[in-house]
Structure 1
Amino acid sequence: MPITLASFLQIDLPAMLAALLATVSCGLLGNFLVLRRQSLMGDAISHAVLPGIVLAFLFWGSRATWPMFFGAACAGVLAAVIIELVRRLGRLDSGTAMGVVFSVFFAGGVVLMEQAAAHAVDLDADCVLYGQLEDILWLAPTGLASLLEPAVWADMPREVTTLALTLAVVSAVVLLFYKELKLTSFDPELATTLGFPAGLFNVLLMVLVAAVAVAAFEAVGSILVIAMFICPAAAARLFTDRLGRQIWLSLGFAVVAALGGYLLAASAPLWAGVPSALAASGMIAVVAGALLGVAVLFAPRYGALARAMRLGELAEARERAAAEPLATNLSNR
């Protein structure tokens, strides 16, 4: 089937917008998780919000946006609190506490999801894990001229508008509390000493992570959400020590992963002669992982190749420094 402008606007554009908004939202918050050495917290909350989502569905009986956010935010904050309690009372490291809590929460959500009432609101495990990116359609536009009509924009898919609103809120909060989030991420003890409520900003960050996770669940699934909370920020961290520059780099990596992954998912099977397309969410996560792998190897500041070259130069300098006294002694004889 040839790609026309109308088919691109109706089929590909909304899916690409949803992927782009989801990856940028996750990538933005991922910077603060990486700084706090809580990258797994994004994984934990992405799994832990599932029972909150299902319980919200069971209680309200619909897939309305605000009940989803409320249930997910409550589950995410509760998971963060329980993780901290398990870490302190059980004398466990953070990784172990996160693994225990998100496994229990996610398993509980799957059990709830299998109940008949959950099926009545059309929620299943595939939707949560892989999303429904390919099913996001915008049938209103028929060409570029139609984009000037307000009614066309009013028919924008709910997933795209939800993700756009979520990104706007997250961006506003980060801009408003950038200094506080930066300080509490780098040194929470110093922040507390200076009078900043580090615990409150930690809860705020967890609420934002939960909100982004639930907004992205239906569109892209939890697998992509987890990947995008970690990969763009971790890759950007290898290039710089400055948080502002790191954030912009991570957003760039998120954009490349979203657009590149979607295009590869659609076109790679055609190149290989396979009749069916690949899952876009999975391919975006693969591209994000590949970008991180390239950064690990070739980042000019902290990449493996750069470190190896610096170690080689240091070894040569030590050899020269050790050889100079010997040469001086020989010349004096």
Structure 2
Amino acid sequence: MKSNIYMMLNDIDSEADEYQEEWTELEAKRLKKKVLGRVHKKSRKKIAIAGVCAAATFALLAAVPFRGAVADAVEQLSYRIGDFLGIDKNLAPYEQIVNQSVTEGGITVTLNSVVLDVDELIVSTTEVYEEAITEGGPGLMGNVYINGVRASGGAGGGSYTSDEHTREVVMKYYLDQVDMADLEQEVNFAVRFNDYEENRGSWEFKFSASGEQLSADTQTIDLTYQCQLPDGSNITFTKYTSNAIGQKIFYTTDGNKNDYDMKLEGTDNLGNPVSFYVSSSNKEGGRFVIDNSAENLSDDAETLTLTPYAVKFPEESGRMSNDYEQVGEPFTIEVR
């Protein structure tokens, strides 16, 4: 079975009266900076905003009458999301099983389950096509809405074709178009998928989800470290978070620009290599997420010592340079 990493960014909804859409400068910048063939061994997640890939196939149990079998189905769904994201933690306590299906234009989309991680909505879907599909072919594009207004500013994820008619997909939607206060309680979501390649229809799902339990289980450490980009912009690292989904480092910038890609590389106190890449950013700041393409952060790690690197986005060629330069001194985060 082959895996397919692909990009999905900010589709434009045709029903402007029902859903408020806006193509922002940030989204255009993201599209420009990420459609650059940047997939390589150590950064396979860095298409769009956070690309991820699958390693195995798992069956979805659509309806099971027995409690034990239902529990097995929940575990399979949780393992599906975890496998796509490269996570070895149990996500079942944080996962909302939706299991809704919509058929239109010869395509049946099943929204399997979701996980709300603060301001990120992770969505697992299964697409079944009447006609045969090819590995790497165009998939459906989605947006997340809250109260009829688009909440997701971008998304990234991965898919794989389990047979000639079925595609399994896990996407992470960044809910950066809404106030964080709107996400601190149970939220009524709508997710709409569209097929812009062949315009075969749209598939919409409505459900409620809460990130309260995952938020309660999230470790947060305040940071004050600063570094400076070659253009003089100052980067301030504000906080480190860790939960079952993974580790993130948030930052702000005073340069009112978004012209550099960055990464953090270093080791934990056990000598294990640790790397973070930027998963989303704008002129005010962004976030790094841990690169777990090799392995997850050790549960025994007590400190992380990281060094910041940066490279400017190409202005004309469209080819991303890998000539990162160090832009600050190493800093240490005490994670335990």
Q: TM-score range by the shorter chain?
A: under 0.3
* Between structures 1 and 2, the one with greater strand share: 2
Q: TM-score, normalised to structure 2's length?
A: 0.25
Between Structure 1 and Structure 2, which shows a larger proportion of helix residues?
A: 1
TM-score with structure 1 setting the length: 0.25
